[in-house]
């Protein structure tokens, strides 16, 4: 029987009432009295020397309050990077300055050069057009391999080269890996591109900043996935504002997918300008600006080699990746191709020897950073593509080859420095075979062929790593932040709860699922619990939401705080019932004395806490409010198996997805309906990457896919109905909920399944096609068939 | 958007006068191209002359000779539901853009703009339709003059389209994945005296007639008649969505499918 409340119930999303009725409170809905508007003048060349910026005519335009340029920011810090990588040779990465507004050079199309603040948006835009720029255009650095050649034009003149770092992992394994390739029975090699993507959340970025002359306090309302992180980075590293004088609020946020993790120049600008002008300052990104200023994702070029022994056991794996950083280091950019990618290269398999090399490269393109999955899709894609290619070369069933090499004993320490706590990869494949009806594939293929279409089946297994932790370890790996989470549980006198979490919901449904957890623990109705997030003024220092960490880390913090509440409430209940604390039991919102019929209700205890007339004041404080910080012992490791069936039209190259099934192991599940939705969305984005989305720069660094006319987002009719299942559950062993995280799984598991399916379809039609780079657009598939 | 004046004439003659009196005026039909251009500041007319209030430019009727007459101000949605005498045309209109576009965009606006990937130019050219303007009648073969270029004079307004209704016709569109405009689309129309084949989306010169296919299909209106007929990729649009060779290949595939589906 499905539950109707608490953990495991598919409770309807309470936040949807306001989202679906237009009563949400998004950052662009916030308008402050006396607010002025900023328009950024952005570079339309990819690389150029900024000889002069003449703002005199613009400053004299109607409504203009002030025109800012890079020189106004010479006294403040640049946009910081939150992760420092140490390379193969023990050297720290090259880390260029990232000014709020361009100083000396522009380095990508969209790089902000000047900012006009005016009474109206249109006045600001009019004045920006009157700024006279003298830019000496320089050759653009676009291709990563060319960027690393001797004598290549440098993106940053003060750096040694365009190489950010040359990372080897695990460097000590390199010789043994190379030796294993020498003696391998079979080696499969694949060169591939993990295509650059633009996140495109439905809500573009917005920043509204305010400054109080009376108190000296600054407030920034911004579309962020992690307002505390923005407060720390912007306050401490850019503007020099201590946290107690800076409040950052991220109200309702319309999707992020990673692109709203990072601290952006526009946020710092608005906060700076609000103080300088003593006026609230607002910026609302246009969609066109979003294409050239939101951090992009992926953009890896990889050569992967898989060595197998004579029995088809994986013997060694070796990869060589170029990872695009873009023109500057976005907040967590250096960590994505390294610690979030190299550590995942074992996948679900017992490959004993692995070596990963990553060269991170500066180019004259928009900075690249985390995008749904962040490093893990890149790892999974190359691994699952090379396994599929190996199976075809060896003439063995792709799923059988995977099963043969599965890790089956846990905990399992991989050769890439992580330890999987739990998993059952055969179970998810068994479930996949059932829900995808793999037995029926041959009949479906015949039916497609009768219609003149090629049908293919692609499978994929993935491992995820969510809730990156613990903090002391990630500190050793170069993180400049902790990766705990926090929660404050405030019980009100009449029994309702206000739970303040450091996690941030921007579509995930935390207000519903987090309330279910607390409701289950206390045994009260979820309606009595309010989840509050997104405001540094009312929640403890939190690290926000990304990397599928919220329920695993934020949920665990909330559990710990709620446990403290229950412990204290039991003391109060014991006093009220004149019983021993050890005898108090809490069930269904009632405290009772074990073995008796004595009980008091939850509301009686909470009232006593705040009206402490009959209360053990000599032993415990009044009130019922607790905070917990939770720092996990390890990542969590969700896993799963996906199957995709496609039809390919051999005359046009058009691929349609006919069936898609996902069997995931997320450990325990709080709200199955929300988990279904997260998986659906992830699969949709994975299909977008596999078939549709391509961020394309030309050789001059001009963004060719700069609007929805050319950047293809997945639409409803691009995806089939999905068969999703998360009944295979191996609970996480090191967090109190046994949860693992589900937000990115779909985006990780989907692209290789789709591409494997298309290759299968083409080969079934007699085409000797072994690989096509994503997106598998009709023209690319048709072109591959012509070879 | 830059500032502009807007005029809302209710008579065609007033619209023509406003246009000829303007130094840099622009006609506003459904605005599905012009408004985004204005918002992006890619166009800066000093005066917009809104055509949507001119009743004489709207509506669908059948002429005495059986031709389907469509007012230039008629929206795609209205054509999709009101031009039942010409099923291939209603199907085309029903598949332009999305409902919001179809409820605003007009047939006259689309033709005056002559986007090389638009749908209507293929229908007009394949049908041998007549473009009736504020000052004359223009045969379809004389109207389209390349990408975004037409035979329209600066002060000329399309008022009506007159489509001969073919015996059989079909419009086969292969969509560009992002915009869902035609990457390549082919309109095939079979008349008593021959077959016309018009191709949109493919050529750098905009919509064109594929005369070899027309000749082959005029003698045998069947997909097989196209066997061995190919187009060269030269002069075809070559962009991130497909090479010229791919578009040339798709023209043949779409033509074949259009013939097979024609009714």
pLDDT tens-digit map of A386-405: 999 999 999 999 999 999 99
Question: CATH no. for residue B239?
Answer: 3.30.390.50
Task: Please give the average per-residue pLDDT across B166-195, as a whole number.
Answer: 98
Q: CA–CA separation, A536 vs A60, rounded Å?
A: 38
Task: Please give the average per-residue pLDDT across A618-646, as a whole number.
Answer: 97
Q: CA–CA separation, A758 vs A747, rounded Å?
A: 18
Task: Please give the average per-residue pLDDT across B184-199, as a whole number.
Answer: 98
User: In this structure, are B131 and B213 located in the same domain?
Assistant: no
What pLDDT shows up at residue A256?
A: 97
Considering chain B, what percentage of its residues have pLDDT values greater than 90? 100
Task: Please give the average per-residue pLDDT across A298-319, as a whole number.
Answer: 98
Res. A355: pLDDT tops 80: yes
Task: Specify the DSSP class assigned to residue B239.
Answer: B
Is residue B183 within a helix (H) or strand (E), and if so which, with residue range? strand B182-191
What pLDDT shows up at residue A787?
A: 85
Residue A574's nearest CA partner among A563, A566, A582 is: A582
The nearest CA of chain A is from the CA of B130 a distance in Å of: 31
User: In this structure, are B194 and B158 located in the same domain?
Assistant: no
Residues A710, B246: C-beta atoms closer than 8 Å = no
Residues A651, B253: C-beta atoms closer than 8 Å = yes
Considering chain A, what percentage of its residues have pLDDT values greater than 70? 100
- The single residue listed with the structure tokens 């595939």 is B253
User: Could you write out the DSSP letters of every residue in A666-725?
Assistant: -BS-S-HHHHHHHHHHHHHHHHIIIII----B-TTS-BS--STTTS----GGGS--EEEE
Topology of domain A141-195+296-407 in CATH is Aldehyde Oxidoreductase; domain 4 (3.30.365)
User: In this structure, are B121 and B155 located in the same domain?
Assistant: yes
Contacts of A122 in chain B (CB under 8 A): 1
Residue A33's nearest CA partner among A257, A252, A274 is: A274
The nearest CA of chain B is from the CA of A536 a distance in Å of: 36
Residues B177, A711: C-beta atoms closer than 8 Å = no
CATH numeric code, A31-138+205-284: 3.90.1170.50
Q: Which CATH number fits domain A16-22+484-630: 2.30.30.360, 3.10.310.40, 3.30.365.10, 3.40.50.2300?
A: 3.30.365.10
Q: What is the 3-state secondary structure (H, E, C) of A345-358?
A: CCCCECCCEEEEEE
Q: Which of B178, B249, B250 lies at the smallest CB-CB distance from A712?
A: B178
Give B129: exposed, middle or buried? Use CB within 10 Å, 0-12, 13-18, 19+: buried
Q: Which CATH number fits domain A419-463+636-787: 3.40.50.150, 3.30.930.10, 3.30.365.10, 3.90.550.10?
A: 3.30.365.10
Is the confidence metric ipTM above 0.90 for this complex?
Answer: yes
CA distances (Å), origin A40, targets A282, A399, B77:
11, 52, 39
- Based on its alpha-carbon atoms, the radius of gyration of chain B, rounded to whole angstroms, reads 18
Q: CA–CA separation, B36 vs A689, rounded Å?
A: 27
Residue A739's nearest CA partner among A475, A510, A543 is: A510
> pLDDT-based confidence at A595, cuts 50/70/90?
very high
Same fold, A16-22+484-630 and A141-195+296-407: yes
User: In this structure, are B233 and B255 located in the same domain?
Assistant: yes
Residues B178, A713: C-beta atoms closer than 8 Å = yes
- Phi first, then psi, for residue A389 (nearest 5°) are -65, -40
Residue-wise pLDDT for A242-268, tens only, equals 999 999 999 999 999 999 999 999 999
The nearest CA of chain B is from the CA of A150 a distance in Å of: 30
Residue A427's nearest CA partner among A667, A244, A254 is: A667
Q: Structural domain tally of chain B?
A: 3
What pLDDT shows up at residue A469?
A: 87
User: In this structure, are B176 and B233 located in the same domain?
Assistant: yes
Res. A286: pLDDT tops 90: yes
Question: CATH no. for residue B20?
Answer: 3.30.43.10
Residues A713, B243: C-beta atoms closer than 8 Å = no
Whether pTM exceeds 0.90:
yes
> pLDDT-based confidence at A4, cuts 50/70/90?
confident
Contacts of A692 in chain B (CB under 8 A): 177-178
Task: Please give the average per-residue pLDDT across B31-38, as a whole number.
Answer: 96
Q: Which of B1, B40, B243 lies at the smallest CB-CB distance from A779?
A: B243
What domain range includes position B39?
5-50
**Domain ranges (residues) in chain A:** 16-22+484-630, 31-138+205-284, 141-195+296-407, 419-463+636-787
- Based on its alpha-carbon atoms, the radius of gyration of chain A, rounded to whole angstroms, reads 27
User: In this structure, are B173 and B136 located in the same domain?
Assistant: no
Residue-wise pLDDT for A726-784, tens only, equals 999 999 999 999 999 999 999 999 999 999 999 999 999 999 999 999 999 999 999 99
Residue-wise pLDDT for A27-63, tens only, equals 999 999 999 999 999 999 999 999 999 999 999 999 9
Tell me the residue length of chain B: 263
User: In this structure, are B72 and B114 located in the same domain?
Assistant: yes
Q: What is the 3-state secondary structure (H, E, C) of A433-470?
A: HHHCCHHHHHHHHHHHHHCCCEEEEEEEEEECCECCCC
More confident residue, A4 or B115: B115
Structure tokens at B189: 């129309």
Q: CA–CA separation, B119 vs B100, rounded Å?
A: 16
**SS3 label, residue A565:** helix
Question: B241 to chain A: nearest residue by CA?
Answer: A779
Task: Please give the average per-residue pLDDT across B139-154, as a whole number.
Answer: 97
Res. A2: pLDDT tops 80: no
Mean per-residue pLDDT of chain A: 97
Compute how many other C-beta atoms are within 10 angstroms of the C-beta atom of residue A493: 14
User: In this structure, are B75 and B159 located in the same domain?
Assistant: yes
User: In this structure, are B133 and B67 located in the same domain?
Assistant: yes
The nearest CA of chain B is from the CA of A174 a distance in Å of: 39
Residue ranges with strand state E in A18-119: 36-42, 48-54, 64-69, 105-106, 112-118
Mean per-residue pLDDT of chain B: 97
What pLDDT shows up at residue A183?
A: 97
Task: Please give the average per-residue pLDDT across B82-92, as a whole number.
Answer: 96
Residues B177, A712: C-beta atoms closer than 8 Å = yes
Residue-wise pLDDT for B210-220, tens only, equals 999 999 999 99
Contacts of B241 in chain A (CB under 8 A): 710, 777, 779
Residues A122, B1: C-beta atoms closer than 8 Å = yes
Residues B242, A709: C-beta atoms closer than 8 Å = no
User: In this structure, are B113 and B187 located in the same domain?
Assistant: no
Q: Output b/e per residue, A473-489; b: 16+ Cβ within 10 A.
A: bbeebbbbbbbbbbbbb
Q: Which of B174, B177, B249 lies at the smallest CB-CB distance from A692?
A: B177
Question: CATH no. for residue B148?
Answer: 3.30.465.10
Task: Please give the average per-residue pLDDT across A586-593, as a whole number.
Answer: 97
Would you call A779 an interface residue with chain B, using a CB distance cutoff of 8 Å?
Answer: yes
Res. A1: pLDDT tops 80: no
Task: Please give the average per-residue pLDDT across A604-626, as a whole number.
Answer: 97
Would you call A694 an interface residue with chain B, using a CB distance cutoff of 8 Å?
Answer: yes
Q: Which of B143, B163, B183 is the last residue of a domain?
A: B163
Would you call A787 an interface residue with chain B, using a CB distance cutoff of 8 Å?
Answer: no
Structure tokens at A574: 């014991």
Question: B252 to chain A: nearest residue by CA?
Answer: A651
Contacts of A705 in chain B (CB under 8 A): 178, 240
Q: Which of A652, A713, A779 lies at the smallest CB-CB distance from B241?
A: A779
Residue-wise pLDDT for B107-143, tens only, equals 999 999 999 999 999 999 999 999 999 999 999 999 9
């Amino acid at each position: 029987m499905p539950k109707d409340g608490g953990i495991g119930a598919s409770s309807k999303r309470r936040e949807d009432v306001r989202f679906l009725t237009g009563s949400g409170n998004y950052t662009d809905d916030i308008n402050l009295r006396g607010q002025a508007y900023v328009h950024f003048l952005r570079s339309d060349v990819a690389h150029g020397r900024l000889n002069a910026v003449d703002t005199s005519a613009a400053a004299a335009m109607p409504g203009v309050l002030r025109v800012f340029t890079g020189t106004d920011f010479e006294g403040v810090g640049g946009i910081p990077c939150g992760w420092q990588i140490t390379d193969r040779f023990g050297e720290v990465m090259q880390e260029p300055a990232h000014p709020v507004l361009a100083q000396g050079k522009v380095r990508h199309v969209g790089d902000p050069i000047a900012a006009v603040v005016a009474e109206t948006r249109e006045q600001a835009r009019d004045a920006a057009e009157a700024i006279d720029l003298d830019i000496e255009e320089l050759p653009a650095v676009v291709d990563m391999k060319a960027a690393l050649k001797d004598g290549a034009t440098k993106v940053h003149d003060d750096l040694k080269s365009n190489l950010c770092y040359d990372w080897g992992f695990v460097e000590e394994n390199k010789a043994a890996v190379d030796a294993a390739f020498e003696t391998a029975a079979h080696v499969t090699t694949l060169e591939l591109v993990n295509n650059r993507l633009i996140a495109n959340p439905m809500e573009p970025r917005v920043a509204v900043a305010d400054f109080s002359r009376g108190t000296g306090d600054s407030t920034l309302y911004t579309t962020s996935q992690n307002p505390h992180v923005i407060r720390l980075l912007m306050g401490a590293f850019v503007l020099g504002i201590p946290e107690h004088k800076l409040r950052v609020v991220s109200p309702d946020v319309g999707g992020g997918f990673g692109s709203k993790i990072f601290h952006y120049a526009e946020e710092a600008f608005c906060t700076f300008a609000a103080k300088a002008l003593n006026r609230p300052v607002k910026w609302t990104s246009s969609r066109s600006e979003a294409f050239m200023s939101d951090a992009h994702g992926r953009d890896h070029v990889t050569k992967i080699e898989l060595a197998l022994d004579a029995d088809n056991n994986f013997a060694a794996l070796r990869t060589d990746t170029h990872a695009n950083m873009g023109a500057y280091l976005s907040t967590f950019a250096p960590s994505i191709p390294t610690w979030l990618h190299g550590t995942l290269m074992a996948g679900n398999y017992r490959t004993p020897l692995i070596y990963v090399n990553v060269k991170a490269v500066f180019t004259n393109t928009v900075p690249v950073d985390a995008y749904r999955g962040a490093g893990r899709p890149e790892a999974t894609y190359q691994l699952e593509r090379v396994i599929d290619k190996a199976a075809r070369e060896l003439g063995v069933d792709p799923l059988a080859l995977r099963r043969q090499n599965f890790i089956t004993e846990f905990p399992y320490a991989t050769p890439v420095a992580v330890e999987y706590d739990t998993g059952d990869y055969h179970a998810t494949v068994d479930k996949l075979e059932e829900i995808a009806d793999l037995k029926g594939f041959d009949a479906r293929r015949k039916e497609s062929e009768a219609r003149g279409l090629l049908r293919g089946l692609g499978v994929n297994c993935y491992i995820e790593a969510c809730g990156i932790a613990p903090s002391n370890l990630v500190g050793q790996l170069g993180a400049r932040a902790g990766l705990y989470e926090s929660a404050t549980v405030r019980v009100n006198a009449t029994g309702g709860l206000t739970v303040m979490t450091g996690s941030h919901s921007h579509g995930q449904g935390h207000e519903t699922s987090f309330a279910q957890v607390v409701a289950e623990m206390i045994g009260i109705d979820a309606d009595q619990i309010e989840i509050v997030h997104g405001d540094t003024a009312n929640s403890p220092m939190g690290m926000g939401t990304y990397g599928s960490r919220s329920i695993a880390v934020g949920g665990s913090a909330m559990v710990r705080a709620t446990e403290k509440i229950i412990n204290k409430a039991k003391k109060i209940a014991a006093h009220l019932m004149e019983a021993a604390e050890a005898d108090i039991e809490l069930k269904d919102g009632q405290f009772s004395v074990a073995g008796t019929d004595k009980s008091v209700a939850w509301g009686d205890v909470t009232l006593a806490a705040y009206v402490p007339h009959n209360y053990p004041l000599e032993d415990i404080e009044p009130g019922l409010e607790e905070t917990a910080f939770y720092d996990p012992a390890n990542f969590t490791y969700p896993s799963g198996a996906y199957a995709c069936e496609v039809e390919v039209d051999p005359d046009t190259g058009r691929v349609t997805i006919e069936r898609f099934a996902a069997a995931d192991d997320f450990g325990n599940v709080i709200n199955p309906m929300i988990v279904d939705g997260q998986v659906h969305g992830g699969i949709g984005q994975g299909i977008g990457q596999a078939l549709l989305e391509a961020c394309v720069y030309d050789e001059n660094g001009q963004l060719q896919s700069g609007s929805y006319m050319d950047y293809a987002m997945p639409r409803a009719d691009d995806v089939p109905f999905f068969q999703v299942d998360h009944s295979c559950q191996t609970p996480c062993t090191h967090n109190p909920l046994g949860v693992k995280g589900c937000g990115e799984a779909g985006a990780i598991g989907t692209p290789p399944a789709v591409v494997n399916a298309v290759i299968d379809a083409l080969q079934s039609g007699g085409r000797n096609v072994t690989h096509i780079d994503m997106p598998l657009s009709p023209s690319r598939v048709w072109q591959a068939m012509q070879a | 958007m830059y500032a502009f004046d807007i005029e809302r004439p209710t008579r065609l003659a007033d619209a023509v006068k406003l246009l000829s009196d303007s130094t840099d005026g622009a006609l506003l039909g459904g605005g599905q191209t012009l408004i985004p251009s204005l918002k992006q500041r890619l166009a800066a007319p000093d005066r917009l002359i809104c055509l949507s209030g001119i009743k004489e430019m709207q509506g669908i009727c059948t002429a005495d000779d059986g031709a389907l007459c469509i007012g230039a101000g008629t929206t795609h949605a209205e054509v999709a539901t009101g031009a039942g005498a010409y099923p291939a045309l209603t199907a085309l209109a029903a598949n332009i853009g999305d409902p919001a576009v179809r409820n605003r965009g007009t047939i006259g606006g689309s033709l005056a703009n002559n986007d090389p990937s638009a749908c209507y130019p293929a229908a007009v050219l394949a049908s041998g339709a007549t473009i009736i303007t504020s000052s004359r009648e223009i045969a379809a073969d004389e109207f389209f003059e390349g990408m975004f270029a037409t035979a329209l004079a600066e002060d000329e307004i399309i008022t009506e389209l007159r489509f001969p209704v073919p015996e059989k016709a079909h419009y086969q569109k292969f969509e560009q994945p992002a915009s869902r405009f035609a990457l390549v689309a082919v309109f095939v129309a079979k008349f008593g005296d021959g077959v016309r084949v018009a191709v949109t989306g493919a050529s750098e010169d905009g919509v064109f007639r594929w005369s070899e296919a027309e000749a082959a299909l005029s003698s045998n209106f069947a997909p097989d008649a196209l066997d061995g007929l190919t187009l060269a990729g030269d002069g075809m649009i070559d962009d991130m969505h497909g090479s010229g060779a791919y578009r040339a290949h798709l023209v043949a595939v779409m033509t074949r499918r259009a013939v097979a589906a024609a009714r």
